[in-house]
Amino acid sequence: MATHFKGPILYSSARKGLENLNTGMWPDQCTVWDDFVVELDTAWTVVKDTGAAVAIAADTANGVLTLTSAATTDNDGASVQGNEIFQLPAEQAQMVWFEARYYVDSTGGGSGASEMDTFIGLTENFVTNPENGLDRPNRIGFQMSDGSATLQTVVSQTGPLANTFSLPAANNVVDGAYQTVGFTLTKGATTNGTNVAKFFLNRQLVNTETTFITTDLMALAAVSLSGANTGTKSMGIDYILGSVDRVIY
């Protein structure tokens, strides 16, 4: 029997973390998705230290954006950020989606997984130094701190008030290994109207938060900093995706 669709087709696989995110042209959602296959789009703002680099990797399958520190330089790094266009929606049950696939690594000595500071997710815009992307009052995403390969979920709002959750050791970051991270924000998801953030690692639910969820405007962002003076530290981003429901009358 033929199937007739009256609206946009959803992801047929119903991937966890991406449910209800539409594909193709769909004006009821604002979506940014960069696969980094040609060049860094001018919509991205680069904030980096002098010796660091931000570039599309040459001859790499599927396109990868690399953020690379200066060799053997501590606290050196780079970041990219988009425009502040993502915000917790105004109407109950509306959503924000985020997903990215990335890895960290070190060449010439040291470990990327335990000698880097990283963040990837949504944050208010920042200037001057890439490390400013690690402490913005309004942000949500995944963070790793120098000295540990532990991946943390971070939810924060102006205050500064923050809620961080360390994922179990089985989820520790490994040098050169891709991981897919994502989260959803749902406006008034519970019966009492509480906003809910759900975090996914490799598309498996790993944490849920209901406090300190900001309503400010935020941008897609990725931050990569060296935490040691051995080796060259890097973050390679395969793709980054953000989408939000908008009110349509």
Over residues 114-143, the pLDDT tens digits come to: 999 999 999 999 998 999 999 899 999 999
Chain segment 18-76, per-residue pLDDT in tens? 888 886 778 899 999 999 998 898 899 999 999 999 999 998 999 999 999 999 999 99
pLDDT of residue 190: 80
Spatial distance between the Cα atoms of 219 and 161, rounded to a whole number of angstroms: 19
Inter-residue contact 235 to 140 (CB < 8 Å):
no
Confidence of residue 12 (pLDDT cuts 50, 70, 90): very low
**Domain extent listing, the chain:** 29-245
CB-count exposure of residue 118 (10 Å: 0-12, 13-18, 19+) = buried
Q: Which helix (H) or strand (E) holds 56?
A: strand 53-56
Specify the CATH architecture of the domain 29-245: Sandwich (2.60)
User: Does residue 17 register a pLDDT over 90?
Assistant: no
pLDDT band per the 50, 70, 90 thresholds, residue 2: low
94 to 69, 104, 127, 187, 242: CA distances (angstroms):
38, 33, 30, 6, 14
Given this model, what pLDDT does residue 170 score?
A: 96
Question: Mean pLDDT, the chain, as a whole number?
Answer: 91
Cβ–Cβ under 8 Å, residues 219 and 73: no
For residues 170-191, average pLDDT: 94
pLDDT (mean) for 185-192: 88
Provide the 3-class DSSP secondary structure of residue 71. Answer: coil
pTM: 0.92
* Rounded Cα gap, residues 36 and 34, in angstroms: 6
CA quadruple 58, 61, 67, 72: dihedral sign: negative
- Which of 151, 126, 141 lies closest to 213, judged by CA? 141
Residue-wise DSSP of 171-209: G---TT--EEEEEEEETT-STT---EEEEEETTEEEEEE
Is residue 172 within 8 Å of 149, Cβ to Cβ?
yes
Q: Given a cut of 90, is residue 112 above it in pLDDT?
A: yes
